[in-house]
Copies of this chain bind each other. A is one copy, B any other.
Amino acid sequence: MNSSSARTEFELIHAIARHVKPSAQVPIGIGDDAAVIAPTPNQHLVTTTDSLVLGRHFTSDWTAHDIGHLAMAVNLSDLAAMAAKPRWALLNMTLPKDSVYATQAWLDEFMQGFLSLDDGLVLVGGNLSEGPLNIGVVLIGEVMPDQAITRSGTQVGDLLVLTGTLGDAAAALSRPVDNAPFGLALRQRLHRPTPRLLAGQHAAGHVHAMIDVSDGLLADLSHLLHAATRDSATPPLGAEIELQKLPTSKAMKAMGFSEAERWNLQLSGGNDYELLMSVQPSSLTPLLADLQLANTDATVIGQVTSGGEILVLDEHGGHFVPAKRGWDHFQETADE
């Protein structure tokens, strides 16, 4: 005790803990060997974990607020895709000693971004280690039993419905946008994405399957189609995507991309954090009405087929061949 060393780690933890409000459902929070949570009776838990790595998910010019926002947003997006309500978080950070990250000022600003997305969420615990920067987030949400929406369940003939717009974050990564007409809007989509929490919850009861689009539309659509037949001997489903229907923001339109450039960013760019839903045609109208209640625009971008392939069609019915399918963490080459 009275050790100067312990005080330092204590100060960093305090910079995090001071942002946390007490909660009746968290009898034991930050500061013990583990946190104790009193879950809501008759609910299932939905849990996910995702990390941010410097140079991969963000770069050293990002503000602490933006990094905190992104760390929370990518995890909330996973809960949104299950139609879950976020409740509790743990934060597991590895910080380089003597770096700007291992300071009270940085952690304080990080926490403001981290907790800015959802008022109901409570940070219950976590861990601080010394090492290469790594920001691990754990979320626990709740959902009524059997009400979670999974990736599996897609059927031939389903419509593919996407929230929001596509490609904005990828556009901001593809070239400097600071002087573009809506450059700030594009950068916001990259640095501060909006997880579609309410839309995910409002989709419950209307859709066969759902996934969040984080690795690029084609990659995540492929995951969705594979999940439908994962446990059977049948080949995966296919899909037809109509390029003219890809939802495109005003900012994206103003960038002056060629059509092919824009399509590639929208099909494979990643970091969109929109929801992709697979919907029986008769459920489309009630789904869109419920999404409007969640203030979320959504667009039909194509249809599920039995073909086993994803075809990308232009307005004349011609096939567009994307430059790259999507993002893989362990292999950066385009495929095929």
* Residue of B27, B37, B44, B218 touching A37 (CB-CB under 8 A): B44
Residues in B whose Cβ lies below 8 Å from that of A45: 36-39, 45, 140
Among residues 35 to 49 in chain A, which have CB atoms less than 8 Å away from a CB atom of chain B?
A: 35-39, 41-42, 44-49
With an 8 A cutoff between CB atoms, is A94 at the interface? yes
Q: How large is the interface on A (under 10, 10 to 19, 20 to 34, 35 or more residues)?
A: 35 or more
Among residues 106 to 146 in chain A, which have CB atoms less than 8 Å away from a CB atom of chain B?
A: 124-132, 134, 136, 138-141, 143, 145-146
* Residue of B4, B5, B329 touching A9 (CB-CB under 8 A): B329
A44 to B90, CA, bound (A): 16
Known A36-B148, A45-B45; further 14 A-B contacts with Cβ < 8 A: A1-B222, A6-B222, A6-B335, A9-B329, A31-B230, A32-B152, A33-B212, A34-B79, A41-B41, A47-B124, A48-B90, A49-B127, A50-B92, A92-B138
Chain A interface residues toward B at CB < 8 A: 1-6, 8-9, 12, 27-28, 31-39, 41-42, 44-51, 53-57, 78-79, 81-82, 84, 88, 90, 92, 94-95, 97, 102, 124-132, 134, 136, 138-141, 143, 145-146, 148, 150-152, 210-212, 218-219, 222, 225-227, 230, 236, 309-310, 325-336
4 smallest A-B Cβ distances: which pairs? A5-B328, A53-B131, A1-B222, A132-B132
Cβ distance A333 to chain B, nearest Cβ, rounded Å: 7
Q: Secondary structure at chain A's binding surface: helix, strand, loop or mixed?
A: mixed
A239 to B309, CA, bound (A): 70
* Residue of B38, B48, B332, B336 touching A125 (CB-CB under 8 A): B48
Residues in B whose Cβ lies below 8 Å from that of A329: 9, 128-130
Residues in B whose Cβ lies below 8 Å from that of A88: 47
